[in-house]
Structure 1
Amino acid sequence: MRSPGLFSDIGKKAKDLLTKDYTCDREVTLSTVTASGVCLTSTAVKKGGLYSLDISSMYQHKNALICFKVDAESNVSTTFNVLGVLPSTKLAISVKLPDCNASKISTAFIISEALPYRKLVVSVKLPDDPLKLKLQYFHENATFATVVRMKPSPMVEFSATVGTEGVAFGAECRYDAARGKFRNYRAAIGMTSKYYHAALIMADKGDTIKVYGLYHFDKKQVVSAVVELTRKLSKKENTLTVGGLYTVDAQTTVKARLNDSGSLAALLRLQVKPKSHLMISGEFDMKSLDKPPKIGLALALVP
């Protein structure tokens, strides 16, 4: 079944091309799989002058999935996922140590296709953390989603999208039950095809207008160009960001972005072997070339 997608999907491809994977951190990720099927992953990250390290493992047995993670601050978190407890149901239980004290145990129930076109997510953290309910409805020409949060104050978020495969109209708002008011209105129009993705988003009660445009120069999307224009009506301010992506071959991808404040960012992604890649990113201030650039490095090795 095809649908116009969720409200958050409008303009997402253009935003991802401008923001995804750009980082000025140093990160190394190593993954391996043992003969018994246990997946081990170790990640080391340097942000500024601080280092962080975590080790995680994942093991799946029949319909049960166990995830275990330890970080440099001796925090231990464990998540149990069980599929097929009931038809179309997933049960997830997570515990974080050492500060759980029987109050940091969270449980989530995910029920998909319980009814035609529906996906229901129920999440509760006991005993003093917020209750969160999520409901998504997908149809051929409409999508509806709502999220209910009980703490710190009751809040209900609504979003709806109507349209066809190529055109979508959407709206989103938040209702503050404590104050009895609707807040954070947003509306959007999105158009998509094999060659382009365009979106117009109005936020802040119409005071902020964002326009996204993504164009692919060929069917295989080897070369793409993207633009983001933001207009703040009350302040009469404009912000412009342009970017592009070029896929040299199956192993090499290059992309860059530039905004009107003179910030230039570039990213080189190299596939060193199947499932393993190296990403080198840099950010430069074109108006202050005497400042040293910010350089990021990410290496992921998977057997």
Structure 2
Amino acid sequence: MSLPQPVPPSWKDLGKSANDLLAKDYPYNTTSLEVKTNTPSDVSFRVFGTNDKGVVNGDLEAKWANKPHGITVTQTWTTSNTLKTLVELENQLAKGLKIDVNTALQPEKGTRSTTVGGIYKQSGVHTRGVLDVFKGPTFTADTVLGRDGFLVGAEAAYNVTEGNVTRYAAALGYNAPEYAVTLHGLNNLKTFTASYYHKVSADVEAGAKAVYDSKATTGGVALEVGAKAYLDPAAFVKAKINNSGVLALGYTQSLRPGVKLGLGLAVDTQKLNDISPSGPSHRVGASFVFES
């Protein structure tokens, strides 16, 4: 008898290991501050703010979870005066089924959006459907099937009013304990990406991503490679470079339990004479996270 297959990753998480390696923990674009607190009554608060060239944006988020009944309610108020509400119900109507309703309202502009989604995951399958009530309406569905580490997935968006498919994509991948390979065909199979992730050892990770856009005017393939190394249990460094010559460095340090500092630097190696860190060629930034 064959062993039960694990639940594969969702469509949006295909290639996540490589994407996180190359995109996260590089705070060179902005300076950010994040504060997270939790209460004994299953209520958590999060304040997140960024300063991007003097423009400050922020979110105030409150989340309440009733774990025995699988209910989670998240409310967010942003500095752009957008009110967001997310209601999630998991494993109540059926095992492995999650229903969510996501709304956003801008009172000053009178704009609103509402999506209703469902996620179903079981051994070897992970599928999702989302209905955008006011945009279209548009129904988007994706499915990922997995067996013995091999993954195949597809996504499609359907405009209910016009009665046509507006977007489709497909992906193939293979996940092993030490490495993962993913191929995507996106934007109606006009953009192709290939990513690779390798856990070299307990302290070293490496990865790469290539993107080819058949509609791009510049042509060619965009390539990015990166690595992550733990200096000790409380600190790690990351580095990446792309074929445009931009080198990015990141350093993350846990100063104490619940306090984390991140520093980022991006340097255009083809414009080393531009020595201004805040100039168009080189960028620096930092992030601070406080969690209790």
TM range (shorter): 0.7 to 0.9
Change in Cα spacing, 1:91 to 1:34, as seen in structure 2 (3 Å) is closer
Q: TM-score, normalised by structure 1?
A: 0.78
Establish whether residue 300 from structure 1 lines up as the match of residue 289 from structure 2.
yes
Change in Cα spacing, 1:35 to 1:118, as seen in structure 2 (3 Å) is closer
1:228 maps to 209
Which of 8, 31, 53 is the aligned partner of 2:12?
8
Unaligned runs of 5+ in 1: 55-68, 70-76
Task: List per-residue Cα deviations over 1:68-108 (Å, max 9, x = no partner).
Answer: x4xxxxxxx7x563526xx63415374859999xx968573
- Please give the secondary structure, in 2, of the residue aligned with 1:287: helix
2:243 maps to 260
Change in Cα spacing, 1:233 to 1:106, as seen in structure 2 (3 Å) is closer
Whichever residue aligns with residue 298 of structure 1, its letter is S
Distance (whole Å) between structure 1 residues aligned to residue 78 and residue 238 of structure 2: 40
Change in Cα spacing, 1:156 to 1:194, as seen in structure 2 (3 Å) is same
1:26 maps to 31
Distance (whole Å) between structure 1 residues aligned to residue 87 and residue 40 of structure 2: 31
Whichever residue aligns with residue 178 of structure 1, its letter is T
Which of 97, 102, 115 is the aligned partner of 1:118?
97
Change in Cα spacing, 1:113 to 1:38, as seen in structure 2 (3 Å) is closer
Q: TM-score, normalised by structure 2?
A: 0.81
Distance (whole Å) between structure 2 residues aligned to residue 167 and residue 88 of structure 1: 34
- Please give the secondary structure, in 2, of the residue aligned with 1:129: strand
Distance (whole Å) between structure 1 residues aligned to residue 264 and residue 76 of structure 2: 35
Unaligned runs of 5+ in 2: 277-281
Change in Cα spacing, 1:138 to 1:261, as seen in structure 2 (3 Å) is same
Distance (whole Å) between structure 2 residues aligned to residue 124 and residue 42 of structure 1: 20
Task: List per-residue Cα deviations over 1:54-77 (Å, max 9, x = no partner).
Answer: 7xxxxxxxxxxxxxx4xxxxxxx7
- Please give the secondary structure, in 1, of the residue aligned with 2:161: coil
Whichever residue aligns with residue 126 of structure 2, its letter is T
- Please give the secondary structure, in 2, of the residue aligned with 1:18: helix
1:183 maps to 166
Change in Cα spacing, 1:39 to 1:212, as seen in structure 2 (3 Å) is closer
Contact preservation (8 Å) 1:118, 1:138: yes
Which of 182, 191, 205 is the aligned partner of 1:208?
191
Distance (whole Å) between structure 2 residues aligned to residue 50 and residue 208 of structure 1: 33
Which of 47, 52, 67 is the aligned partner of 1:47?
52
Change in Cα spacing, 1:200 to 1:93, as seen in structure 2 (3 Å) is closer
Displacement of 1:130: 3.4
Which of 202, 211, 234 is the aligned partner of 1:251?
234
Which of 149, 152, 155 is the aligned partner of 1:169?
152
Task: List per-residue Cα deviations over 1:168-221 (Å, max 9, x = no partner).
Answer: 100001001122111221100111112111100011222211000011112x2x
Task: List per-residue Cα deviations over 1:8-45 (Å, max 9, x = no partner).
Answer: 12101101111112222223446678999997776654
Give the percent of matched residue pairs that are identical in Structure 1 and Structure 2: 21
Distance (whole Å) between structure 2 residues aligned to residue 225 and residue 260 of structure 1: 17
1:130 maps to 113
Which of 137, 140, 143 is the aligned partner of 2:126?
143
2:279 maps to none
Larger Rg: 1
Change in Cα spacing, 1:120 to 1:97, as seen in structure 2 (3 Å) is closer
1:273 maps to 256
Contact preservation (8 Å) 1:199, 1:211: yes
Change in Cα spacing, 1:298 to 1:138, as seen in structure 2 (3 Å) is same
Contact preservation (8 Å) 2:267, 2:283: yes
Change in Cα spacing, 1:4 to 1:300, as seen in structure 2 (3 Å) is closer
Displacement of 1:227: 0.7
| Alignment size in residue pairs | 275
Displacement of 1:115: 0.8
Q: CA RMSD in A?
A: 3.4
Q: Where do 1:147-158 residues align within 5 Å?
A: 147-158=130-141
Distance (whole Å) between structure 1 residues aligned to residue 27 and residue 112 of structure 2: 32
